Amino acid sequence: MGLENTNDVLMKSTVFENFESNVRSYCRKYPVIFAKAKGSLLIDQNGNEFIDFLCGAGSCNYGHNNDYIKDKVIEYLQNDGLIHGLDMYTIPKGEFIECLQNTILIPRGYDYKVLFPGPTGTNAVEAALKIARKVKGRSNILALMGGFHGMSLGALSLTADRFAREGAGVVLGNVTHVPHPATMKDFDTIAYIDLILTDDHSGVDKPAAIILESVQGEGGINIVSNEWLKAIRALCDKHDMLLILDEIQSGCGRTGSFFSFERAGIKPDIVVMAKSIGGIGMPCAITLVKPEYDVLAPGEHNGTFRGFQLSFVAGKAALEYLLAENVEAETVRKGKIVNEFLAANLPKIASDITYRGLGLMWGIDFGKYPPAIAQKIRCICYDNNVILELCGREDTVVKLLPPLTIDDAMLNKGLEVVRKAIIQALSTN
């Protein structure tokens, strides 16, 4: 696989180094020029194959160039289908909405209107914030420490990472961050939130909503329990605020169910989705809103590319593929493979390495070590043709995010590379 290794076809990295903005980041960690991708593999222009445990940060859940999804997109293009449609009525958008409602939402008991805010997750979050503030007539929002919700100013005010926040250049306000239960295990975070909302001397303005990830991605694969999710739902009802679930990275089957919060049996007021909702890496985002909170006036939130038709074609095909191939159950099964591998191997390496995850969203925590250890593991994995990313405080958590379609053999091969990388990194510490 790959392109011919001849000088007249190879791209030079100097074009990026000389002319692309300094803000580029992933390419600094993986300094190779990619040309192709298929299934669970990324392939550089020299034909070298890399097992993908990054998965487009969760945008390619169904694998690269998934044949079923790709064929639907190609067929649509070959028939001269409309590609750009603003928010006009189109067949692809109508079919996507019908498929989402009839195969996912209605069978699971969810009643949501579908808002198309623009092509990225941060667009979906911005729309959710506008809705919550308009519905409740309040500006403050609660968010969990460790959360990541986007990089545009409204969403960035929710994002906890100091480095990301400092890039704003302005004061980020109207948000109160509260402790995450996974990072303060001996502290009753529900009681704390109840206190600051009840006590008229808490100094916290009554919020319009709370936003959270059922499984924090960039925060370090921090999982809130079913009991906590039920308790926060009840607390929102008690204090007249909306519950917003951010499913941008953890949704679309990533944790073993289409929504990561399904396990708790709750119904959020608003759900924000992006990444793999576009099916095959196509840019797409949606904000799901209970009908009674569908309050934005026509045009009150919009965007030029909220009607990218290829995303709707690919998104519908992805939903069909998810159901036809039993992806949710397969993700649960493969998650057990990861769990059993880590349980069998990590204690043999060191007793102070912890891990956690759901489905195919896992983190190996090296918080007891200097940050350089996790960075070294990432580099060793890259040198051995596995691409993965770090997350959590000081990037001390090694994140495992393979495609949901990865076969067992390749999954185990990638895990074995990670195991050896951990041993090598710790032996040279």
Question: CA torsion angle for 137, 140, 142, 146 (degrees, to 10)?
Answer: 140
**33 and 124 both lie in a single domain:** no
* Domain boundary pick from 279, 294, 324: 324
Read off the tokens for 263. Answer: 């396990």
Domain assignment of residue 397, given as a range: 14-65+327-427
Q: Is residue 1 part of a domain?
A: no
Q: Is residue 333 part of a domain?
A: yes
**30 and 79 both lie in a single domain:** no
Q: Is residue 198 part of a domain?
A: yes
**211 and 82 both lie in a single domain:** yes
Read off the DSSP letter of residue 291.
Answer: G
Helix (H) or strand (E) holding 114: strand 113-115
The CATH number of the domain where 269 resides is what?
Answer: 3.40.640.10
* Domain boundary pick from 284, 307, 324: 324
**182 and 277 both lie in a single domain:** yes
**56 and 73 both lie in a single domain:** no
Q: Write the CA distances from 343 to 191, 335, 351, 374, integer angstroms.
A: 33, 12, 11, 19
**18 and 159 both lie in a single domain:** no
- Pinpoint the alpha helices (H) of 10-105: 14-19, 26-29, 55-58, 67-78, 91-99
**Under 8 Å between Cβ of 100 and 312:** no
For the chain, the domain total comes to: 2
Q: What is the pLDDT tens value at each position of the chain, 429 positions in all?
A: 444 444 456 889 899 999 999 999 999 999 999 999 999 999 999 999 999 999 999 999 999 999 999 999 999 999 999 999 999 999 999 999 999 999 999 999 999 999 999 999 999 999 999 999 999 999 999 999 999 999 999 999 999 999 999 999 999 999 999 999 998 889 999 999 999 999 999 999 999 999 999 999 999 999 999 999 999 999 999 999 999 999 999 999 999 999 999 999 999 999 999 999 999 999 999 999 999 999 999 999 999 999 999 999 999 999 999 999 999 999 999 999 999 999 999 999 999 999 999 999 999 999 999 999 999 999 999 999 999 999 999 999 999 999 999 999 999 999 999 999 999 999 987
Q: What does 181-218 look like in DSSP terms, one character per residue?
A: TTT-TTS-HHHHHHHHHH-TTS--PPPSEEEE-SEETT
**204 and 259 both lie in a single domain:** yes
- φ/ψ of 347, rounded to 5, equals -60, -25
Q: Is residue 370 part of a domain?
A: yes
**74 and 42 both lie in a single domain:** no
**86 and 149 both lie in a single domain:** yes
Q: Is residue 2 part of a domain?
A: no
